[in-house]
């Protein structure tokens, strides 16, 4: 899969994709990441890519011309119809979720535009047909960090990137619940022992324990997720025993 990232600050990505799982995935040719400097297409002496906002107000706005020119040039949109998502990172966008990450991984390519300053001229969204996406209900200094988050989350669903193919399907949020507790050696650490059930070798009981602990943890930390999770009658009975009341 190829990721094209359009930004005013390409150096922010230096090193982020050169470590750990993503670095190995790039070396193996499973993913390709290209970072494009929007300023490279500007024609003025100072490579200006932002300007003051019409109507007044504080902060600068990213200009439409450099962004649209850069995206159309790299993606060759005037020659080939776009058959993959083009995302504009914005706090006003659709919330990025595990389900969306899995959906985006189906495409051979993904383009990301990093907003910055006060925002992006809205004509960028209209002309390019970009989908606005936000990684959370808060505001960052720019879309560069959200772009990194999306590349990381989407890459985990690409075959071969994660050593255990089924691992992403068991992560927190992948099933609608938070993940169960994890343990490794030593067996006991500072008086805290690994639950005996995990040492039993009984796979059915281990799976049942993990499901219940995922339910318990979700109820304690993110009870809002239970309203959307797929729950069996056994799940509901267990949760009721913990004081849960379905809305």
Task: Kindly give the confidence (pLDDT) of every residue in the chain, 247 residues in length, as a single tens digit, with 9 standing for 90 and above.
Answer: 999 999 999 999 999 999 999 999 999 999 999 999 999 999 999 999 999 999 988 889 999 999 999 999 999 998 888 999 999 999 999 999 999 999 999 999 999 999 999 899 999 999 999 999 999 999 999 999 999 999 999 999 999 999 776 666 656 667 789 999 999 999 999 999 999 999 999 999 999 999 999 999 999 999 999 999 999 999 999 999 999 998 7
Find, among 132, 122, 125, 117, the residue nearest to 49 by Cα. Answer: 117
User: Within this chain, do residues 88 and 179 fall inside the same structural domain, yes or no?
Assistant: no
Domain-ending residue, one of 155, 186, 213: 155
Domain-ending residue, one of 155, 190, 214: 155
Evaluate whether residue 167 is within a structural domain. no
Domain-ending residue, one of 92, 123, 155: 155
CA 38/CA 67 separation, integer angstroms: 6
Find, among 150, 53, 131, the residue nearest to 92 by Cα. Answer: 131
User: Within this chain, do residues 141 and 193 fall inside the same structural domain, yes or no?
Assistant: no
Evaluate whether residue 161 is within a structural domain. no
Q: Which residues neighbour 49 within 8 Å (Cβ) at sequence distance 6 or greater?
A: 8, 38, 39, 42, 62, 63, 66, 67
Report CA torsion sign: 78, 52, 36, 102.
negative
The number of distinct structural domains making up the chain is 2
**What residues are annotated to the active site?**
91, 118, 156, 171
The CATH number given to whatever domain includes residue 180 is 1.10.1270.20
CA 222/CA 214 separation, integer angstroms: 11
User: Within this chain, do residues 138 and 181 fall inside the same structural domain, yes or no?
Assistant: no
Angular region, 186: left φ>0, alpha ψ -120 to 50, beta rest? beta
CA 68/CA 124 separation, integer angstroms: 6
State which residues form the domain around 230. Answer: 172-241
Contact 20, 80 (CB under 8 A): no
Residue 198, classified by CB atoms within 10 Å of its CB into exposed (0-12), middle (13-18) or buried (19+), is: middle
Evaluate whether residue 127 is within a structural domain. yes
User: Within this chain, do residues 46 and 101 fall inside the same structural domain, yes or no?
Assistant: yes
Evaluate whether residue 160 is within a structural domain. no
The CATH number given to whatever domain includes residue 24 is 3.40.1280.10
Contact 6, 36 (CB under 8 A): yes
pTM of the entire predicted model:
0.90
């Amino acid at each position: 899969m190829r990721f094209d990232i359009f930004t005013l600050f390409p150096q922010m990505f230096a090193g982020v994709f050169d470590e750990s799982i993503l670095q190995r995935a790039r070396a193996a040719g499973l993913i390709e990441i290209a970072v494009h400097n929007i300023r490279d297409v500007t024609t003025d002496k100072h490579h200006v890519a932002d300007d003051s906002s019409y109507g007044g107000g504080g902060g600068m706005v990213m200009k439409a011309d450099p962004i649209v020119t850069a995206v159309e040039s790299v993606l060759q949109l005037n020659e080939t119809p776009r058959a993959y998502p083009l995302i504009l990172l914005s706090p006003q966008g659709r919330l990025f979720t595990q389900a969306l990450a899995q959906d985006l991984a189906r495409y051979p390519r993904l383009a990301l535009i990093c907003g910055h300053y006060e925002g992006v001229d809205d004509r960028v969204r209209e002309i390019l047909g970009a989908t606005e996406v936000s990684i959370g209900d808060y505001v960052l200094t720019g879309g560069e960090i959200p772009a990194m988050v999306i590349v990381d989350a989407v890459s985990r669903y690409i075959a071969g990137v994660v050593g255990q193919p089924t691992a992403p399907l068991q992560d927190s949020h992948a099933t609608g619940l938070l993940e169960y507790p994890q343990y490794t050696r030593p067996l006991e650490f500072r008086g805290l022992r690994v639950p005996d059930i995990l040492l039993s070798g009984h796979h059915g009981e281990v799976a049942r324990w993990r499901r219940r602990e995922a339910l318990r943890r979700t109820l304690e930390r993110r009870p809002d997720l239970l309203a959307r999770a797929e729950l069996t009658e056994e799940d509901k009975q267990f949760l009721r025993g913990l004081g849960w009341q379905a809305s």
